[in-house]
Amino acid sequence: MSAPRVVSLAPSATATVAALGAADHLVGVTAHCDLPDDAAPGSAHGDGSPTVVGGWLNPDLDRVVALDPAVVLTSDALQADLADACRDRGLDVAHREPSTLDDAVDGFAARGSDVARPEAGERLAADTRDRLDRVAGAVADRPRPTVYCEEWSDPPMAAGNWVPDAVRAAGGRYPFVDPGERSREVDPAAVAAADPDHVVVHVCGRGDRVDPETVESRDWAVDAPVSVIDDSLLNQPSPALLDGVERLARLLHPEAFSVAGDDADV
């Protein structure tokens, strides 16, 4: 059976398909999607690199249709209308809306089924849970520092969705947004009242190109170190999220990973 032609309109779906070893199924992606250098995109179809069909919220659907995909991948509530628009064009759409860390991990297996790689999807989900278990073991019984994660800085917005779960998985407390709730604007005074031990900035769409001084110099009563983390490690429900959990765990509990050999395991 030939590899299915896949158009991914969500960066998280594109990253997950690549992690499944199925980047060669991709015939179309958005301008916001990244593929690893060794992903060999498009090779199963002899088409070279996948066609860029536009932005993740405003792709050119005529171009998508012309690619004749077996399935179009969308993600997040912000793409729900786009998913419907694709269906109206007669396209088969696999739409996923993870809102928690468990949802994201379960979604890896689901994406495997979406692109005809179910066994790879199950393996990726299982490997991810093994990584989470290793982090949990490393931070078990340690004090849990309070962490404030900022997804947007003007105005300040506390990260929601799976980020509260990620902080807790990394051994921290996150009193700002409940798991599964959307990110929301916060009053700096409320953040100060929570007295965070760490401030983590991962501004959506900025990668790690954020000057911590923009937060450190804010007029608020927060005296905590500011760490900038690439937004793809926390804002995207792809396998990169596990890299984000591990990065947070090392930030919050460096002593748990200071023994020789631990870094190789977690």
Average pLDDT in the 165-184 region? 97
Residue 135 domain-assigned (yes or no): no
Is the per-residue pLDDT at 264 higher than 80?
Answer: no
Q: Is residue 29 domain-shared with residue 90, that is, in the same domain?
A: yes
Last residue of a domain, one of 80, 97, 114: 97
Is the per-residue pLDDT at 262 higher than 50?
Answer: no
Mean pLDDT across the chain? 92
Buried/exposed code over 42-51 (b: 16+ C-beta within 10 A; e: otherwise)? bebbebeebb
> Tens digit of pLDDT for each residue in 68-98?
999 999 999 999 999 999 999 999 999 999 9
Q: Compute how many other C-beta atoms are within 10 angstroms of the C-beta atom of residue 1.
A: 4
> So what's the pLDDT on residue 37?
63
Q: Is residue 52 domain-shared with residue 157, that is, in the same domain?
A: no
Average pLDDT in the 131-147 region? 96
Q: What is the CATH number of the domain that holds 210?
A: 3.40.50.1980
Q: Is residue 151 domain-shared with residue 239, that is, in the same domain?
A: yes
Residue 220 domain-assigned (yes or no): yes
Is the per-residue pLDDT at 166 higher than 50?
Answer: yes
- Using CA atoms, how far apart are residues 152 and 141, in angstroms rounded to an integer? 32
> So what's the pLDDT on residue 39?
55
> Tens digit of pLDDT for each residue in 110-136?
999 999 999 999 999 999 999 999 999
Average pLDDT in the 236-258 region? 95
Confidence of residue 263 (pLDDT cuts 50, 70, 90): very low
The encoded tokens of residue 22 equal 């199925």
Q: Is residue 83 domain-shared with residue 153, that is, in the same domain?
A: no
Last residue of a domain, one of 33, 63, 97: 97
Q: Is residue 245 domain-shared with residue 182, that is, in the same domain?
A: yes
Confidence of residue 257 (pLDDT cuts 50, 70, 90): confident
Counting the structural domains of the chain, the total is 2
> Tens digit of pLDDT for each residue in 11-33?
999 999 999 999 999 999 999 99
Residue 104 domain-assigned (yes or no): no
Residue 122 domain-assigned (yes or no): no
Confidence of residue 47 (pLDDT cuts 50, 70, 90): low
Residue 124 domain-assigned (yes or no): no
Evaluate whether 148 touches 158 at the Cβ level (below 8 Å).
yes
Alpha helices in the chain (DSSP H): 11-19, 61-66, 80-88, 101-114, 118-139, 163-169, 188-194, 213-216, 240-252, 262-265
Task: Specify the pTM.
Answer: 0.90
Enumerate residues 6+ apart whose C-beta is below 8 A from 177.
158, 159, 160, 163, 164, 183, 184
Last residue of a domain, one of 56, 76, 97: 97
Q: Is residue 226 domain-shared with residue 152, that is, in the same domain?
A: yes
Residue 223 domain-assigned (yes or no): yes
What is the domain range of residue 154? 147-265
Residue 126 domain-assigned (yes or no): no
> So what's the pLDDT on residue 1?
56
Is the per-residue pLDDT at 46 higher than 70?
Answer: no
Average pLDDT in the 244-260 region? 89
Q: What letter would DSSP give residue 89?
A: T
Residue 115 domain-assigned (yes or no): no
> So what's the pLDDT on residue 219?
87
> Tens digit of pLDDT for each residue in 191-225?
999 999 999 999 998 888 999 998 988 889 899 99
Q: Is residue 154 domain-shared with residue 225, that is, in the same domain?
A: yes
